[in-house]
Structure 1
Amino acid sequence: MSLPPLAFLPAVLLSLADRSGEVNCAAWPEARREALRRACACSDFVIEQARRDSGLLDELAGSGELERRYVPGELREALRQRVQACVSEDDLGRVLRHFRNRQQLRIIWRDVNRLADLAETCRDLSDLADASIDEAYQWLYPRHCQSFGTPVGRRSGQAQHMVILGMGKLGAHELNLSSDIDLIFGYPEGGETEGAKRAIDNQEFFIRLGQRLIKALDAITADGFVFRTDMRLRPYGSAGALVLSFNALEQYYQDQGRDWERYAMIKARVVGGDQAAGAQLLEMLRPFVYRRYLDFSAIEALRAMKLLIQQEVRRKGMADNIKLGSGGIREIEFIAQAFQLIHGGRDLSLQQRPLLKVLATLEGQGYLPSPVVAELREAYEFLRYTEHALQAIADRQTQMLPDNAQDQARVALIMGFDSWAAFRERLDYWRERVDWHFRQVIADPDEDENGEVEVDPSGEWLPLWNGALEEEGARRQLEEAGFVDALAAQQRLVGLRNGSQVRTMQRLGRERLDAFVPRLLAQIVEQGNPDLVLERVLPLVEAVARRSAYLVLLSENPLALQRLLRLCAASPWIAEQISRFPLLLDELLNEGRLFSPPQAPELIAELRERLTRIPEDDLEQQMEALRHFKLAHGLRVAASEIAGTLPLMKVSDYLTWLAEAILDQVLNLAWRQLALRHGVPRRADGSACDPCFVIVGYGKVGGLELGHGSDLDLVFIHDGDSQAETDGAKPIDGAQFFARLGQRIIHLLTTQTTSGQLYEVDMRLRPSGAAGLLVSSLGAFERYQQQEAWTWEHQALVRARVLVGCPQVGEGVERVRAAVLGRERDLHGLRREVGEMRAKMRDNLGTPTTQAGLGANAFEQDSAFDLKQDAGGIVDIEFMVQYAALAWSWRHPQLLRYTDNMRILDGLCDAGLMPASDVALLQEAYKAYRSVAHRQALQKQPGKVTGEQFQDERRGVMRIWRELGLN
């Protein structure tokens, strides 16, 4: 921000600038004298301090502190040296005030001369407050103990220290030039003091200590004050005890904490006292601030708070207040806090204090578009600079724009404008932009762009939901709205209203439900099949009725509700998923994200980032994060499939990438847990494993053909020394380590949590099946495949693929696969074994009319065609591809390059082993079968169609089967 030259100062400021002549600065360089004139023109505080202590400015100038920024810790160390020399509380008070005035002079000087940016000014002020609070506390505590004894915890027997929480701008390192400081005092546990003639209760000890600390900071003396100290944010406000134990604090916030206290706690930070105990306290209070579910009730509360503020602004005539007025600083803070409180329980990246960092996260995580964040950031910085300009004038806490020409000229000068009018024009622009963005986030969904309340179409459904209509009238309304079976619809609604879930709801939850259901009905009747949609969505409403924040989410986001209804209409599977796991409602908020699932590298990066925010020892939260990630991205894929934005093959690709990303992190988690306990196993050459372990996928995951709800066919292989012990505190041999690693991976994948399980896992394709070891060494895997495996196991190996793990071991697995599949086979015997295995499967799993081939009525409408198991279906195509790979890859090794059926068929065509027309027929039939099977899965229907469907495809597949001699 450029500053106008002082030569063009308005006349009203010239006399103020001339006050610089009262300072002995003749020996100063010209640039510093110019800075002095500007400081004197802008700030009465600067000249008053110079008059009070004639040597102070010279001292700051001589040390170079006026022109340079402090290094971390420098300010605190300077104060510590001064405080340690104090011999009395009066002495402490004087030292703190002199130091504060010295620093305030330096900070204002640097701010008005733009030698410091906003971040530095806020940081220096916050560091000053931190140092003043903690150094005063550390000086007072031992002297307080001499008088009253040392407080000792009743349970722990340990000496107790107070924890001082800084709230608001102090907590976020955002203190302004004349901020007061909001503090909350706590102590870890109850007990009594020891070492004094008369023991007193710990609470009484800390109350007295807190009072002495507040006096040291807040009392106004001849030297001024250090910081105005506000304790009203503590539990019960001014009526509450000055200091509470951790248990009492936790109990209060759990039972009685109000919405505004949640917002205050977002920025809470330990600024003094026992830092370790303070970290424990903040962790205890975290569930109060950040709910584990999506909490759209935060917007309701913010809206109510903003309304109260607006009323206060109007009552006190504060429209020109740049903090509380329309488009002010508080609105930007509310925007950030709305997203933090709604999503912060699940998105840990939002659990931070500084507003600008929160805005950057909102941009990076896609909650707000980049242009919006850029405007909010620039507006915030302009408003905060303006706030500092207002407060620099007289070191007075104010956010009101001045109404006199002199101070208006000062503000314009500090802000780099040549006139008040130019400054005011820019300020009004930014306030208008902030107000507009604020209304987009906080506005009532029933308001139009001008803030007027629109006619709510849900109003006509309120009497029906409340039971105010007679049964006949209710049925008539439902029929007229398009319900085919109005009686069934009415009974469903009555069942919900009279159900135990609703009857036992608390008042607030019931009010939210009563507001939501009419909105829901108004949108359901806009759907093509309202009967079906109502049937599918009411279980969700019942499931979330007692967690009414989800109802608020849908009420606040009409477009999300529309997407929900469309998806439920299209797929009962999606409806059931969302009913079982309501946290998925979050995915409906962003249409672009919902219908555009990320590519494989983005999936891996997103999951890794989520898990890095969770403490390494918090296994429960890690497992929940994995499950939520899978559910969320599974929903995105299903929604994209229904919307037609993802073709079948891409659906399978995405679901497979999702599984690989999850397996990669599951392996990392399992490895880390075991390595911490037992150390790292060794390879045969003595080097450490890193991790010399792979997860091999067979079947659908190996062939990149996963569907919704598919299980995972896995095999675990390691290349460590089974006999060598691990290098940890509790060593075990390599065989035990890798067996436990496999068990841990399966546990992480299959354990049922509140968010379900990750995947069903099938390990029967490992060497020797269920009778074999859970984890095989690479050598044992090779021996088994070369010497003992059956033909059907080699068929399965065609679709085997290393999913995650050590690249070196993965290369070894690929070498074994290529060697086993690439050997020459007796074609007659191979055809017989493949054909016999397929016949067994068809007999056991196929439709009875086609078990021995195609019955006479197999193509009739009354017959059923199992897309997977019946003759001419999916498995026939898979078996032909596997047969071809086993039969001919010894001459055409390129057939082993891929594990998916489509590209192996391409290879057969390229090698001239199968006519292009037959390859095209098999590929098209395969895609058609799988596409229908996917749709059937989303409709929760078995993978069967009527017999008259796919006649040409089935006959073509069976013809090729016969021509290959597989009968």
Structure 2
Amino acid sequence: MSTGERTSSLTELARLGFSALSESAEMLDELATALDVPRGDLLRAAAAAADPDGALLALTRIARRDAQPVRAVHSDPQGWRSLWALLGASTGFAEFFLRRPDEVAQLAGAGLGLPSPETLREEMLDAIGAEDGFAAEGGEEAWVRLRVRYRRLLARIAAFDLLHPDPLEVMPDIAARLADAAGAALEASLAIARTRVSRGAAGASLFPAEQVARTNLAIIGMGKAGARELNYVSDVDVIFVAGADDDTLAKIGESRVVDIATRLAVQTMRGISGAEIEPPLWEVDANLRPEGKQGALVRTLGSHLSYYDRWAKSWEFQALLKARPLAGDAALGEQYVAALAPKVWTSAARENFVDSVQRMRERVTDHIPAEEVSVQIKLGPGGIRDVEFTVQLLQLVHGLTDDRIRQRGTLPALEALASEGYIGRAEASAFSRDYRALRVLEHRMQLRHLRRTHLMPRTPDELRVLARATGLAETGERVWQTWEAIKREVRDIHVRLFYRPLLSAVASLPEAERSLSPAQAHDRLAAIGFTDPAGALRHIGALTSGLSRKATIQRHLMPVMIRWFADGVDPDYGLLAFRRISERLGDTPWFLRMLRDSSGAAESLTRVLSGSRYVGELMEWIPESAAWLDDPDLLRPRSGLALQEEARAIQTRHDNADDAMRAVRALRRRELLRTAMAAILGTLTIEELADALTTITEVTIQATLRAVRRDVLEPEDAPLDFSVIAMGRFGGAELGFGSDADVMYVYRPNGIDPERAARKALQLVGALRQYSEDHRAPLDLDAGLRPEGRNGPLARSLDAFEEYYRRWSLSWEAQALLRARGVAGSVKLITAFTGLANEVRYPAAPDPAGLREIKRIKARVENERLPQGADPARHLKLGPGGLSDVEWLVQLLQLQYAHTVPALRTTSTTVALTAARDAGIVPEADAARLFEAWRLASRLRSANTLLSGQTSDVLPTDRKKLDGIGRLLEYPPRSATQVEEDWLRTARRARRSFERLFYG
């Protein structure tokens, strides 16, 4: 090419939007040669690319791997434009096509129309060979096919979106098709789940296929999925509803139906979100279900209705506004929506409903990290949430009496509100236009890397690409200015509509509703500490009404029990939990007798229920545990030997892993509840608590491993050794409530083909993780501390561990090994691994560079791992003087001195700290301060989990919660300030000792 031709070529590239002109010219030459087409032909669709440089680079990389699919799509003008548009807007699609070059050819002949909902469903089911609700096979390969086909369809939707001349106009259609595609993907994943559940992932039967086929599971779409206004990469909020026909219920029972449906739901979610060869599609989020994460994953329609009738909060009805059958049994889904619709549209009549919705929106804004507020498309002021919350509040309040505005989608609802005169047409038009623009911005940002994000880009290059991709502006600077103008307008309309005084008046609760109980009783309950006296009166009425013996006894007991509840941390929840347990136990003679004759047990019951949601929720599932309160010996944690014997007996009684693990999970829940009740009643020290929780976890993992070995391994695999190594607080036997179980997995082939041994080891890991799942009492087997972290293989052979630690081990990995301890599997392998670990974690000559690196990492952890917005002084784990300070200091000392001080060779933080003190390495005063901080932080963490039923490492700022934590730690009532001051003072002292000893 002559100099003049080259100059002309570069000018053409610049005109088309290329930036790296020389590099792009060279890639064009390479691509033209690879495809055997004229160089100029390649650029005929380049103008469709928001980032032409990125598109050309991706095209070249794909062609290097396989030129044929690129050549095929080049021959189709529309397909060629689609490919340039996709690669120029999305590095995520570039990575997909590079992984799977054959998928490029699918763009040829596809046209530019949007696939219909029927086409999406048919394509997804065809990808897995679905027939009569079952996939052709249930292996991981089926999940891969599902995900690849989904992304193929997603590419068609995105190409239509990117090439449309008016993205704002087509945005609702795009969002609707994305929701349809998500529903189709869930349908396909459910078909695979039916096959997996009926055949078993490893060929073993889990449930009979006939029972699986007759079990109905409706997947209800919530939020944007329900409203058919989904994003490209968004959590898909769902609720699962189980059912069956009368004959099936009569044959196998409702409990069995729910068990099958729960397994189907779990497998369906894994098919979409689990880690496989092909990356996950998006997160399936079931946390909007009754009782959130703590509630049952799947319920029957009757159970759902019972919950919403009795216990649902106002925000839960707001969440149901967009509910729609998304996949699974359509008839059951429609029944669910129809049954709940009246409750949704009367929820605004609840007391303080409007205020609660307004406060909820403010909390969302308050929790945005400070550095993200200025770039938040969704949650920030003037963002998408301002539009959605405004529309939903207007709908719910005025929808009490006007069914014409009861719409799922934001834009249809906005139109209806304007048509019926609830908002002005000018405001509705501005809101609609701005909402579409915000959603297009969000869509383009998610397309960029096919990742969930709601943040505007900050760099000029990315803003330029966004401008070209949206068509909202010509330059990056102008697209930012356009966005700022949209935010101002949205915020102005939101404030005017969302805080209208009229809303509270329309939604005010009628006074007549308080006539359920005498006013004096209402006032008395309020005076002694019940925050919801009307609700308390309803619970009392349900417990004491009627002529039964149970009601008679409870009428006598209730006055004194109410006083005991009032003395507790949360009287309202305590009474509610007591009612649930009483209803579960019915007229059980021993329960009534215990309440009447054993005042100590009755008082203890009120104490544990009003002091701990964790206990209350578990007791609802295990109500017979109330009997333990009448016998102090029954509240003591059972020994590891006793639990082992019970677990082994379970395996003897059950022929398959599913049945065995159902019993093991019940054992674990029961012992967690026993330990929690003992902790609240003050019969356990923090050391005994940690030991009990560690023992429960060990026995669970041991039993699970025995069960899965029997199912996964074949006779020829018998020589394979496999072990589970506890790490972190689990390895140190220092677990608290809510702690993850950090683990590593090691195996030794013992003559088995190495590839088969590796495959079987990974199958064991997968089965361990699958069968340890428990949505009522989660057990997270976290393998993040393995070599290479989350990038490393889940299981390694002993030889591979040895090779890795010899050649590539980092300082943090030697540090992590300090708490490594074998807990399950082959004793010989555990012994061998322990010997290997000892060589790494107790070096004869500490590496100064490694020690410096540990100190550097510690400083970085303090700066980077604290949650956004969290007060470091209140973070019990990572904050100054917290658990991390004590543990890292002890581990540093072990790396330095354990070779010469044998007492330091322990996985226990407190034992090692004591040894360091006794050896004169840590001064006695410093050791006392560090031990006090570690012990108090551990107690506060567990108390926080017991109180709320949710895990948190942060000391709450809410005075009521602080007081509740204090009560669990045996502080007197109203000690919130004392609890806070004790921690802050203890942490400050420990931090001073830590800094002197760790960095000095």
Sort the TM-score into its range (normalised by shorter chain): 0.3 to 0.5
Q: TM-score scaled by structure 2?
A: 0.42
Instruction: Indicate the structure (1 or 2) with the bigger Cα radius of gyration.
Output: 1
